[in-house]
Structure 1
Amino acid sequence: MTSQRIALITGGNRGLGRATALALAERGVDVVVTYRSGKDQAEEVVESVTRLGRTVAALPLDTAVVAGFDDFTAELRRTLRERWHRDDFDHLVNNAGISVTAAFADTTESDFDSLVDVHFKGVFFLTQRLLPLIADGGRIVNLSTGLTRFASVGQAAYGSVKGAVEVLTRYLAKELGPRGIAVNTVAPGPVATDFAGGIMRDDEGFRAMLASQTALGRVGEPTDVGGAISALLTDGSGWITGQRVEVSGGIFL
């Protein structure tokens, strides 16, 4: 890798993606963030990263539409050349996600397909398209969830799809190891974002219930997860690969 590292974060305009972009910028890493519909949010992230003294770009991307990945890859390549005079980048964070909450008996095929398209099919084929642009010695972090370890009513499809991401992570670690690329999963527990309608951010009773179930006694904040991801992408963690790192405050131990 070159001395100046560049990270690409999907869904980097809000929530965990935004927190990761800022955490990496604070560690001296330049970033490219993608957004599906939150252009204004993405521009705010660009301003925040710029204030931290890092170079940054924001590009539109719908991770559910594989047909658009070739055009996105071409635009990313142009951006890398224009902003960084490079043909590659160092770190990929597959963060973009959606939430569908429904009991197993009520989950529709449309619900299921939406989750698969964003959380698994999109991760699989976007990573595949980007492989030629990821520098040897780089790193990949895929986002999973604590719900692959413990069950919660209404999350059967979401948890199952994220379980597939964890399996994919191990296969990627095996296949990309010869290039020196480390691949890991970060699995957040309950975090106060707008995910799932913002219930873990806004519902004080629900927050208190979850906090009572964690070893550290609180619901997580986006910075908790962003910091963990940035730690896996920066100095001192290059020997870690194929692992699931749960960032949950020790919930349901």
Structure 2
Amino acid sequence: MKNSKIALVTGGSRGLGKNMALRLADKGIDVIITYHTNEAAAQDVVKLIEDKGQKAKAFELDTTNVNEFTTFFKHVSDYLSETYEESRFDYLINNAGTGIYKPFLQTTENDFDEMMNIHLKGVYFLTQKAIPFLTDGGGIINVSSGLARFSLPGSSAYGSMKGAVEVFTKYLAKELGDRKIRANVVAPGAVATDFGGGENKNNDKKRDIISSNTALGRVGEPDDIGGIVAFLCSDDAQWINGQRIEASGGMML
């Protein structure tokens, strides 16, 4: 029987997704995560969640390949039915993604398509496939970026897709309102993870630039983001809908 709330976090094996999954577990929420290639890292996250007293499961998923989504949700549905006796979950967090740092004039069509497939097309159609399994009164959280508000050279393709996801989220909030499903955006600023080759973690020159342009004077950490997602998956956030919440420490104000 389903007692706990359940969240599905894409790209939950590392970085922000891992932190989101762990903070959700801290809130007493069971978690399903997806991973692309690193099963060992995903299983480590599952173990950490279980150590917190919550149920967890990891599934492999390429979020750029829409042809996988029906099969993926069949696996998720089977797991939910076996574990909770009903095939529904409460929160979808579209977090999976990769970065690209290329000037506009050097960005190829393949680069553009890669960003579109993972950050817009994949999010759009994965969410569409998820809706029949999402509990009425549940929630969707799409992950955007501060780069949809301000521009830094080299992120035109990535930032454009994140801007599109923010518009998409408003449509979700409007069209799913009759089922009381909320849809919101969390937009991190620069965070020190392995994302995009670890630029924000390892490039000291870039870290100095970020810190000097952030009101709180430092680069973000995963712990700055995961708790916001966990909050949005709680009853305390039940009246937040169709909103963009930027968590950037006051970057580029």
Q: CA deviation at 1:203?
A: 2.3
Q: 2:27 matched to 1:35? A: no
Q: CA deviation at 1:82?
A: 1.5
Q: 2:156 matched to 1:148? A: no
Q: How far apart, in 1, do the equivalents of 2:154 and 2:210 lie?
A: 16
Q: How far apart, in 2, do the equivalents of 1:33 and 1:173 lie?
A: 23
Q: Which residue of 1 aligns with 2:44?
A: 44
Q: How far apart, in 2, do the equivalents of 1:194 and 1:84 lie?
A: 34
Q: Which residue of 1 aligns with 2:123?
A: 123
SS of 2:196 mapped into structure 1: helix
Q: CA deviation at 1:100?
A: 1.6
Q: CA deviation at 1:3?
A: 4.4
1:197-235 deviation per Cα after TM superposition (whole angstroms, max 9, x unaligned): 111112233212211211111111111111111111112
Question: Counterpart of 2:19 in structure 1: which amino acid?
Answer: A
Q: Which residue of 2 aligns with 1:223?
A: 223
- TM-score, reference length from structure 2: 0.98
Q: How far apart, in 1, do the equivalents of 2:34 and 2:195 lie?
A: 17
For these two proteins, the number of residue pairs brought into alignment is 252
1:40-82 deviation per Cα after TM superposition (whole angstroms, max 9, x unaligned): 1101101100100000000011000001111001000001112
Alpha-carbon RMSD across the aligned residues, in angstroms, is 0.9
1:154-165 equivalences in 2 (<5 Å): 154-165=154-165
Q: How far apart, in 1, do the equivalents of 2:150 and 2:236 lie?
A: 30
Q: How far apart, in 2, do the equivalents of 1:111 and 1:203 lie?
A: 22
Q: How far apart, in 1, do the equivalents of 2:251 and 2:100 lie?
A: 22
Q: 2:110 matched to 1:110? A: yes
Q: How far apart, in 1, do the equivalents of 2:97 and 2:190 lie?
A: 15
Q: Which residue of 1 aligns with 2:14?
A: 14
Q: Which residue of 1 aligns with 2:192?
A: 192
Question: Counterpart of 1:243 in structure 2: which amino acid?
Answer: Q
Q: How far apart, in 2, do the equivalents of 1:209 and 1:162 lie?
A: 22
Q: 2:57 matched to 1:92? A: no
Q: How far apart, in 2, do the equivalents of 1:58 and 1:161 lie?
A: 26
Query: Unmatched 5+ residue regions in structure 1?
Result: none
Q: Which residue of 2 aligns with 1:76?
A: 76
SS of 2:72 mapped into structure 1: helix
Q: How far apart, in 2, do the equivalents of 1:132 and 1:150 lie?
A: 35
Q: How far apart, in 2, do the equivalents of 1:207 and 1:83 lie?
A: 44
Q: Which residue of 1 aligns with 2:168?
A: 168
Percent of matched pairs sharing the same residue: 49
Q: CA deviation at 1:85?
A: 1.9
Q: How far apart, in 1, do the equivalents of 2:209 and 2:118 lie?
A: 29
